[in-house]
A and B are shown apart, each in its own frame.
Chain A
Amino acid sequence: MAAGKIDWDDLIKRQEKTFAAAGGGAIAPEKEQAVLRERARLLAQRPEKYRDPAESIDALVFVLSGESYAVESAYVLETLPLGDFTPLFCTPPFVLGVTNLRGRIVSIVDLRRFFDLPAIGLSDLNRVVLVSNGSMEFGILADAIVGMRSLDKGSLKPPPETFTGIREEFVAGVSAERLALLDLGRIMTDPRIVVHEEVA
């Protein structure tokens, strides 16, 4: 009332317009065209250069405590969201617990604890990367999965000085984008990852 007279006709017109837009359901034709064009453009781009498969490594990139890590896709079985898991007693702190994956019991390892990285806690966005070397199989906890990436072997450099402790041992190399390629074969054969404890 204080704002003066209400323009009811204008209001009704605006509402009818909105209703028509919602009731049409379909995206506006010009907008739809723009989306399709953008996609076509992206698909039409050629890779910068052809890589020799022998010189490149397909790797799965994931984020752990804000840092990007990669594992060789040969070891990766699949990725999955972290569902219910059961903590285990008498295990080192880096073993989060076990989970049921389509009938198989898979243990989940928290590499942040294994590498003594600062923990940022669990959330619904946490993912598990299921890895295997044929004899051994476990899930690696990741904050987020980035996707597949083809890495040039030549471009990998040894880990910088900031990588210390146990982490240094298991990093195969660091890419130009500071992507740390984990030497999973070595991690899986390391006695420290194998849990063997007996309780009297």
Chain B
Amino acid sequence: MKVINGGSMLNNLKIRSRLIAGFGAIVFFLVLIGALSLKNLKAQGDLMTEFHEHPFTVTNAIRSVDANVVRMHRSMKDVVLYARDAEDLEASLADIDASERIVYRDLALVRERFLGDKGKIDQIKESMDKWKQVRARTIELVRQGKIAESVAFHKNYARRIVAGIDSQVNEVLKFATGKAESFVQESQKNQRTIFAVTAILVLLAGALAVWTAFAITSSITAPLDQAVQAAERLSQGDVSVEIHSDAGDELGQLLRAMEKMVLSLRRMGETANQIALGDLDTEVVPASERDVFGLAMSNMVASLKRLAASADRIASGDLTIDVVPASPKDRLGNSFSQMTRNLRELSLEIRAVVNVLAGSAAEIMTTVSQLASSSAQTATSISETNATVQEIRQTTDLTSQKSRQVYESANRAVQVAKEGRESVSSAIDGMQGIDERMGFIAERIVNLSEQSQAIGEIIATVADLAEQSNLLAVNAAIEAAKAGEHGKGFAVVAQEVKNLATQSKQATSQVRNIIGQIQKATTAAVLATEQGSKAVEAGVKQSSEAGESIRVLASSIEESSNATLQIVTSTQEQAIGMDQIAIAIHSINQASDQNVEGSRQIEAAARNLYELNQKLQALVSGYKVA
């Protein structure tokens, strides 16, 4: 597929070396730029020092010379003009001497530093020497007091010499200034150059850094992307991925290792495919001792080969082998073991069945011969049956007559049951009338009982009256006794009244007894009527039940009447059926003849079956079971 080609030089380097090389180049450029800058700084500093030592010092010194010459000249004028004052003269002379020393010192400095023609400086010095003679002459004249001469002398010589010095100084100054300007120009030129060089170098370093970063990153990520894509496809089981790398770095090693892995997987896949197609001749060699996949494949092939060998033996009829499963979870092994066991049992069973079959075939043969003889018996039986059917036909006609009679009597019974139901309902009405009468009687008896109760109350009053009469009689006797002899007759009357009262009381108690008996009798009568009423109720109920029974009986009779009707029609149909049976028996007779023929054929078939069984026995004995 996609060929990963890391052919460039960069890809052959180790990643560490690659990183070191890239960063080293950038650092080198930075150091170069720094050194260049330092060198330029140094050059600039040297230029400044030179500038300071030469044009600048010369210019300053020559100006100092010029100023001191002027000062000396002015002091000389003072000397000439104010020579009378000795003090002034001496001060001016000291001043002149000081300036003169400065001029000579400066001139020596200029001579040393001046870059132009040193002859010009010597000329200035000669002029100064000249002026010194002039000065000395003038001062001598002054000291001699010859002022006018000194003025003229000074006027003639000094002015000329000073003018000459002045022009010489100006020439030197002019040269020095020109020299300084040339210095500045050179410095500016140098700076421009350095700026340009530095800028170029910086740009170069930046470009180099960017290029290095891109190059290194792409050299690492590109192979990694390839590896990731390949691993992704491998994880989905696609072993057709092509990986190739010539690079010498770690990524190259990784890709080559992956390539090996893919090749190994592809080989394994092809081997597994062959095994799946049933080719067990493939030899699986594990890549190493720790190649779990390879070892498993090798074990699987060995196990399959063992099973195949067992299957070959079973196919050749040897059922004595015992397949030992590789593990308790070995489904195929277990199934194989189970299969051989089952086949053994099956073979044994078939052997037993064949034996049984042999016996059965013999039995069938005997049975068939019996069948042939019984067919003949059947034929005679059928003719007897034919005569019986004729008799049944006559009986059926008789049955038809009888059942018609039964039907008519059942109809009469239905009529009677209807009348019976009507009488029962009228009996129920009569009994209900009795029940009403009974209620009336009970009510009357209760009324009588209530009236005798009223009599009892009256009797109680009478008894009370008798009691009071008794007391009154006693009181009367008491009064009679009090009256003495005159009350004797009254005492008798009182006694008589007392006797009457006592009799009345006895009578009331008798009446009360009688009333009690009447009450008992009425209670008994009421109870009796109640029982009568209940008896009537029971009678009504029983009558209703009787009516219901009669109704059920009527319906039963009606049903049996219908049934009888059906019997009548059935017997007619039966008669027709009997005729048909006679025809059928004739057919049976013919069939019986055919049966005899058929049993002969069955006999031949049974013989064939016996021969077949012999062959089967020979086949089964081909299987070794033990």
Q: B475 at interface (Cβ–Cβ under 8 A)?
A: yes
Judge if B484 is at the interface, Cβ distance under 8 Å: yes
A79 interfacial by beta-carbon distance below 8 Å: yes
A147 at interface by CB-CB < 8 Å = yes
Return A61 CB to nearest CB of chain B, in Å: 10
Q: In chain B, what residue has the closest Cβ to A76?
A: B478
Q: Which of B318-358 contact A (CB under 8 A)?
A: none
Contact partner of B481 (CB less than 8 A), chosen from A43, A77, A145, A148, is A148
Q: Are A43 and B485 in contact (CB under 8 A)?
A: no
Q: Does A78 contact B (CB under 8 A)?
A: yes
Are B471 and A145 in touch, CB under 8 angstroms? yes
How many whole Å from B330's CB to the nearest CB in chain A? 100
Contact between A147 and B474, CB atoms less than 8 A apart: yes
Say yes or no for A137: interface residue by CB 8 A criterion. no
Report if B482 contacts A (CB, 8 A). Answer: yes
Contacts of B468 in A (CB 8 A): 81
Q: A81-B471, A145-B471, A148-B491 are in contact. Are A1 and B478 (CB under 8 A)?
A: no
B499 nearest CB across to chain A (Å) = 8
**A58 contacts B475, C-beta separation under 8 Å:** no
Give Cα A78 to B498, complex, Å.
15
Q: How far is the CA of A42 from the CA of B498 in the complex (A)?
A: 14
B535 within 8 A of A: yes
Minimum CB–CB distance from A79 to chain B (whole Å) comes to 5
Shortest CB-to-CB span from A140 to chain B, Å, is: 14
B509-537 vs A, CB cutoff 8 Å, 1 = contact: the mask equals 00000000000000000000000100100
B496 within 8 A of partner (CB): yes
- Beyond A43-B496, A148-B491, whether A80 also contacts B471 by CB under 8 A is yes
Per-position 1/0 for B467-492, Cβ under 8 A of A? 11011011101101110110000011
Interface bin, chain A: 10 to 19
B537 to chain A: closest CB distance in Å?
14
Contact of A79 among B471, B481, B482, B492 (CB under 8 A): B471
Q: How far is the CB of A40 from chain B (nearest CB, A)?
A: 11
Q: How far is the CB of B452 from chain A (nearest CB, A)?
A: 12
- CB pair A73–B481 under 8 Å, yes or no, is yes
Chain A contacts of B477 at CB under 8 A? 147-148
Contact residues in B for A79 (Cβ distance below 8 Å) = 471, 474-475, 478
A154 within 8 A of B: no
Closest residue of B by beta carbon distance from A35:
B503
Q: List B contacts of A42 (CB < 8 A).
A: 499
A46-73 residues with Cβ-Cβ distance < 8 A to B are 53, 58, 60, 73
Distance, CA A76 to CA B484, complexed state (A): 14
Chain A residue contacts of B495, Cβ below 8 A:
147-148
CB-defined contacts of A78 to chain B, threshold 8 Å: 475, 478
Contact between A58 and B481, CB atoms less than 8 A apart: yes
What chain B residues lie within 8 Å of A1 (beta carbons)?
Answer: 532, 535
Distance between A152 CB and nearest chain B CB, rounded to angstroms: 15
Closest A residue to B480 by beta carbon equals: A148
| 131-178 of chain A: CB within 8 A of chain B | 145, 147-148
Q: Please, how many angstroms separate the alpha-carbon atoms of A42 and B496 in the complex?
A: 10
Q: Which residues of B contact A81 (CB under 8 A)?
A: 467-468, 471
CB distance from B510 to the nearest CB of A (A): 14
Give the complex CA separation of A69 and B590 in angstroms.
Answer: 136
Give the residue of B474, B480, B492 whose beta carbon is less than 8 angstroms from that of A60. B474
Instruction: Report B-chain residues with C-beta under 8 Å of the C-beta of A145.
Output: 470-471, 474
- Find the residue from B473, B481, B499 having the highest chain A CB count within 10 A: B481
Bound complex: CA of A42 vs CA of B492, how far in Å? 11
Q: Are A53 and B496 in contact (CB under 8 A)?
A: no
Set A39, A53, A60: member contacting B478, Cβ < 8 A: A60
From residue A63, how far is it (CB to closest CB) to chain B in Å? 13
List, in ascending order, chain B residues with CB within 8 A of A80's CB: 471
Known: A1-B535, A147-B477. A53 touches B484 (CB 8 A): yes
Which of B467, B484, B498 contacts A147, CB < 8 Å? B498
A53 and B474 in contact, given A147-B498, A148-B491 (Cβ under 8 angstroms) = no
In the bound complex, how far is the Cα of B491 from the Cα of A53, in angstroms?
15
A1 to B485, CA, bound (A): 72
Are B474 and A148 in touch, CB under 8 angstroms?
yes
How distant is the Cα of A53 from the Cα of B494 in the complex, in angstroms?
19
Closest partner residue, chain B, to A81 (CB atom): B471
Closest to B494 in A: A148
Complex: A148 Cα to B472 Cα, angstroms: 12
Q: How far, in angstroms, from A194 to B268 measured CA to CA in the complex? A: 148
Q: Which residues of B contact A39 (CB under 8 A)?
A: 496
Contact B471 A127 (CB under 8 A): yes
Chain B residues, CB < 8 A from A127:
471
Which residues on A sit within 8 Å (CB–CB) of B467?
81
Query: How far is it, in angstroms, between the C-alpha of A89 and the C-alpha of B281 when the chains are bound?
Result: 141
- List the A side residues contacting B480 at CB < 8 Å: 148
CA separation between A58 and B481, bound complex, in Å? 7
User: With the chains together, A76 CA to B482 CA distance in Å?
Assistant: 9
Within the complex, the shortest CB–CB distance from B455 to chain A, in Å, comes to 11
Q: How far is the CA of A43 from the CA of B497 in the complex (A)?
A: 12
**Within the assembled complex, what's the spacing in Å between the Cα atoms of A76 and B485?**
18
Closest to B488 in A: A53
Q: For residue B482, which residue of chain A has the nearest CB?
A: A73
Q: Binary interface profile of A, 90-122, with partner B (CB < 8 Å = 1, else 0)?
A: 000000000000000000000000000000000
Task: Enumerate chain A residues within 8 angstroms of B473, measured Cβ to Cβ.
Answer: 147
Task: State A73–B477 Cα separation when bound (angstroms).
Answer: 9
Interchain residue pairs with CB less than 8 A apart (10): A1-B532, A60-B474, A73-B481, A78-B475, A78-B478, A81-B471, A127-B471, A147-B473, A147-B498, A148-B494
Question: Contacts A80-B471, A127-B471, A148-B495 given; 4 further ones with Cβ under 8 A?
Answer: A60-B474, A73-B481, A81-B468, A148-B494
Which 5 pairs show the lowest CB-CB distances between chains A and B?
A148-B477, A58-B481, A73-B481, A78-B475, A79-B474
